[in-house]
């Protein structure tokens, strides 16, 4: 890559869950050939169905052409070999992400852009795992990633200026509106959003008000498009829990301690909208059954 980001070789998204599905949808809709890699074959089938549904809804005429650009794989090492861009979207577990970046350093082309969608982790630590590659950078997308316009672009100390330029160009190619952020725990959005969400959970625990009223307060009083508990259910309560644990590992601040109610919901398998139960219950179409159950 010299003057312009070349996307020949396409995009490989590692992790076909909530975020991987959204990022892959965005890449396909932008005309990029896209491979989704997951260790779980059943997850890949679900990812394919979700991506296809979204693309058919958005593109009635050329959906088949767009979908022809999608490949599914359980073999990360061969999938990334010719990729122009690799975007990691596996769970927020530091050892897992470190192991992925260590493998990418060998398996991907030296020119490939190596991106993490982490919500909280040190991009410098991931770049170190990839032998200090200057091609490692954070691109923090938002859920649903094919619709939400923001991407936080996060640079490691080893990230080269060319990599920053390429990541900004990729964000634009995906139709996003990026901001550049320093490699601090939680960047801008998770650092603020996790605090708001956790305080809302603690208020449910304390019986200050029911979940639905706490959300209503922030929607009607503060103009938030979505309340903090609705948002936590959308993000996934297991994802929230991992994010809080990761923030605790990166700072000694006690404000990121895990609310008891969050731990209990996750332990009981109530992971939010994706399991149809979290702070709310959801019907089969994913609409909340009001009033909130807690």
Quick check: 43 binds ligand NAI (CB under 6 A)? yes
Q: Which stretch binds ligand NAI (CB under 6 A): 37-45, 48-56, 197-205, 275-283?
A: 37-45
Position closest to ligand NAI via CB: 17
Residue of 5, 27, 89, 218 that binds ligand NAI (CB under 6 A): 89
Residue 199 main-chain phi, psi, to 5 deg: -65, -40
Compose the 245-264 pattern: x for residues touching ligand NAI by CB under 6 A, - for all others: --------------------
Residue of 9, 11, 18, 241 that binds ligand NAI (CB under 6 A): 18
Q: To 5 degrees, how large is the angle CA 18–CA 20–CA 24?
A: 125
Cα(287)–Cα(198) distance, integer angstroms = 23
Closest approach, Cβ 206 to ligand NAI, in A, equals 26
Residue 270 main-chain phi, psi, to 5 deg: -90, 95
Q: What is the 3-state secondary structure (H, E, C) of 182-250?
A: CCCCCCCHHHHHHHHHHHHHHHHHHCCCCHHHHHHHHHHHHCCCCCHHHHHHHHCHHHHHHHHHHHHHH
Closest approach, Cβ 120 to ligand NAI, in A, equals 7
Per CB under 6 A, which of residues 123..142 are in contact with ligand NAI? 140-142
Q: Can you tell me whether residue 5 is helix, strand or coil?
A: coil
159 and 137 Cβ atoms separated by less than 8 Å: yes
Site size for ligand NAI (CB under 6 A): 29
Quick check: 170 binds ligand NAI (CB under 6 A)? no
Quick check: 37 binds ligand NAI (CB under 6 A)? yes
Residue of 12, 239, 241, 244 that binds ligand NAI (CB under 6 A): 239
Nearer to ligand NAI, 76 or 114 (CB): 76
How close are the terminal C-alpha atoms of the chain, in Å? 53
Q: Which residues contact 78 (CB under 8 A, 6 or more apart)?
A: none
Cα(174)–Cα(170) distance, integer angstroms = 6
Residue of 30, 243, 270, 277 that binds ligand NAI (CB under 6 A): 243
Quick check: 154 binds ligand NAI (CB under 6 A)? no
Q: Which stretch binds ligand NAI (CB under 6 A): 25-33, 61-69, 151-159, 235-243?
A: 235-243
Quick check: 118 binds ligand NAI (CB under 6 A)? yes
Q: Which residues contact 161 (CB under 8 A, 6 or more apart)?
A: none
Quick check: 20 binds ligand NAI (CB under 6 A)? yes
Closest approach, Cβ 91 to ligand NAI, in A, equals 5
Cα(75)–Cα(52) distance, integer angstroms = 21
Quick check: 39 binds ligand NAI (CB under 6 A)? yes
Kindly list the residues in this chain that would bind ligand NAI in the complex (CB under 6 A).
14-20, 37-40, 43, 76, 89-92, 96, 117-119, 140-143, 235-236, 239, 243
């Amino acid at each position: 890559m010299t003057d312009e980001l070349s996307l020949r070789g396409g995009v490989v998204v590692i992790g076909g869950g909530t975020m991987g599905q959204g990022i892959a949808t965005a890449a396909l809709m932008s005309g990029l050939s896209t491979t989704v890699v997951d260790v779980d074959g059943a997850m890949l089938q679900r990812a394919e169905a979700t991506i296809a549904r979204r693309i058919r809804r958005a593109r009635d005429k050329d959906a088949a052409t767009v979908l022809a650009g999608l490949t599914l794989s359980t073999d990360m090492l061969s999938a990334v070999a010719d990729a122009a861009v690799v975007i990691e979207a596996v769970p927020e577990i530091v050892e897992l992400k470190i192991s992925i970046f260590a493998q990418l350093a060998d398996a991907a082309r030296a020119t490939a852009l190596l991106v993490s969608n982490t919500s909280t982790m040190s991009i410098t630590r991931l770049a170190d795992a990839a032998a200090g590659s200057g091609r490692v950078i954070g691109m923090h997308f938002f859920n649903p990633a094919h619709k939400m316009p923001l991407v936080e672009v996060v640079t490691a100390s080893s990230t080269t200026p060319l990599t920053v330029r390429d990541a900004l160009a990729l964000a634009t190619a995906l139709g996003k509106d990026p901001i550049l952020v320093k490699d601090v725990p939680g960047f801008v959005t998770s650092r603020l959003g996790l605090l708001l969400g956790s305080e809302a959970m603690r208020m449910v625990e304390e019986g200050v008000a029911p979940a639905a009223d706490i959300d209503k307060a922030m929607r009607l009083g503060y103009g938030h498009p979505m309340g903090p508990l609705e948002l936590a259910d959308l993000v996934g309560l297991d994802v929230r829990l991992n994010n809080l644990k990761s923030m605790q590992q990166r700072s000694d601040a006690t404000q990121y301690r895990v609310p008891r109610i969050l731990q209990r919901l996750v332990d009981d398998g109530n992971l939010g909208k994706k399991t149809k139960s979290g702070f709310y219950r959801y019907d089969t179409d994913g609409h909340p059954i009001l009033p909130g159950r807690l």
